[in-house]
Amino acid sequence: MASLNVRSGALGRRLAHHLLSRLTYNITPTRIDYYATRTANQAVNELLDPNGSTPIYPDGPLDAVGAPVFSLTDYKHEPGFSYNGTNRRRAIESWRIYEAMGSTNANWKIIHYFASIFSLYQGGIYKYHFWRLLELMAFQDIKTLALKITYDHAMLRYLNNNVNIGSAPNENYARELLELFTILKGPQIATGNYTTYTEADISTAARVLSGIKSSTNVQDVDPDTGLLVGYNFPNHHDSTNKTFSSAFQNRTIIGRSTAATMTNEVSDFIDMIFDQLATAKSYVRKMYHFFVNDKISTEVENDVITPLATQLLNNGYSHIAVMKKLFKSVHFFDEDDSNSNDEIIGSLIKSPYELLLTTKNQVEAAHLRDPVNSAYYDQLFRIDHSRLATLHLENIGLDPRGPITVEGFAGWNDSERSRHWFSSNYVYDRYSYGVSFRRGRVRETNTSFPYQTDMVSWVNNNIDVSAGPGTPQAPLGAANADLLINKMLGYFIVELPVGDRLCYFQKQLLGGLSTINWYTAWSDYLTTGIDTEVRIGIERLYDAILSSPEFQTF
């Protein structure tokens, strides 16, 4: 029986790594060691603390002179450097990468969970406001987010609700709101009847949503967020009452006829959708798929999804409370049966975000840009975009502009889910991620990469001990080859390999040498500071780990 009971006791290295990899992109040896000492209750409360992380660039992306590229009150802001069009888009995408990479709590994982639901492609410069909305709503509730998404400038334009007129309804947004963003389709039980809603409900919903226009007027801002929002235009709104099907208990939404009251009508409509248990279940299933496992068994549906959906429905769609319940559970840590490594831990394939952002933090790569350089921010938000977003996200299947269809990225929404990320088209680029961080060059090219790690220093900082190497019979710290291998594997891979697989990694460090030879080489390095011999073995082990199948999962 899948159990939502709270797991007790300290997490230890393995479960701390598992929790961090599912809730953040910021996994470092120090953070793994810290959370290994915490209980599930303590760790999850800390990672889901809205104040648990400080934004790196609170004003958003910066231009060449360090001024914000975007302003939340001046939508036509022109910075000192020309950041129009493509450069502004790149700045948005770079800003998101750096924020997610540096965040120490779960906020950017939650933001990407939201983005896997409310899919948006491009959106021009106003997509910045879309991502800011997701950021501001990360620790709020998903029902309020759905209402605010409905008025989002970029979404209004993307799904054509800005041209939805009462006398000539456009059903595009209404359809996607029901089919993809909220309640989802159930089994088709009759022509035009999908159990959870009907084709007639889509038409009726479009009438509710008619007359909402996209705006670039600086006065049209959401008082809660300060972000640009659409506005109500009653002349294009169907102000009659709207009655929905039995899927919504034949609910009637009272029509409104003024700009001041139209939002109340839309809010009543959103309330109707979110009053359905099917809507709550759709969000919990998506949460489970995104954070826990690609598959939902009948057992999980009954023992995990249904009780969490009931909680979500009853607590006003506070997703944080539900996440806490899920992530603290013995089920999340795969300890609700006798086999603790058969279902969840290591079951997901890393998305391009996990590979890029988590790898940078795991290897503790240093940034190679000089902040004193007058072109620092231009390099950061414009030039480095191609190295990060294009060559390390797009090349393995994730366009940072967004999914090309409203169904979302296949790796998050396709029937294959995370397995989609491991396509034959992406294998080489996925397996060569570590090379970029080790060389400070994009894979095996001469194209500069903005980050580089020094793995000898990494071993010194995270594995070696100040007491020295010990003796050949009792080596200490990194002088102990077995300890070094197990520590490196434990900091990069959730499930430690055993048997022949472990022997493979041992051979990468030692080559044909014995552990005594390694002790001598490390001792000589500590004495002389010359790292030539130890670097060969450490970098060979590093390459083997980061190009391994085990590193592709989390």
Number of H-type helices and E-type strands within the chain? 28, 6
Predicted confidence at residue 78, as pLDDT, reads 45
**What is the spatial distance between Cα 366 and Cα 37, in angstroms, rounded to a whole number?**
27
pTM, 2 dp: 0.95
Contact 118, 400 (CB under 8 A): no
**What is the spatial distance between Cα 274 and Cα 50, in angstroms, rounded to a whole number?**
24
Predicted confidence at residue 374, as pLDDT, reads 83
What residues are paired with 62 via a beta bridge?
A: 68
Nearest in space to 400 (alpha carbons), one of 83, 6, 179, 89 = 89
Contact 440, 527 (CB under 8 A): no
Q: How far is CA 444 from CA 56, 217, 353, 362, 449, in A?
A: 30, 48, 21, 21, 11
Predicted confidence at residue 228, as pLDDT, reads 87
**What is the spatial distance between Cα 417 and Cα 203, in angstroms, rounded to a whole number?**
31
Predicted confidence at residue 545, as pLDDT, reads 98
Q: How many CA atoms lie within 13 A of 303 on its CB side?
A: 15
Predicted confidence at residue 80, as pLDDT, reads 43
**What is the spatial distance between Cα 209 and Cα 177, in angstroms, rounded to a whole number?**
11
**What is the spatial distance between Cα 426 and Cα 434, in angstroms, rounded to a whole number?**
15
Q: What is the mean pLDDT of each run of 10 residues along the chain (554 residues)?
A: 96 98 98 98 98 95 86 52 72 95 98 96 81 96 98 95 97 98 97 98 98 84 90 98 98 97 98 98 98 96 98 98 98 90 91 97 95 89 93 93 92 89 92 95 93 98 93 97 98 96 97 96 97 98 97 96
- The residue written with tokens 């034949």 in the block is 250
Predicted confidence at residue 72, as pLDDT, reads 61
**What is the spatial distance between Cα 90 and Cα 48, in angstroms, rounded to a whole number?**
29
Tell me whether residue 348 is exposed, middle or buried, using C-beta atoms within 10 angstroms of its C-beta: 0 to 12, 13 to 18, 19 or more. Answer: buried
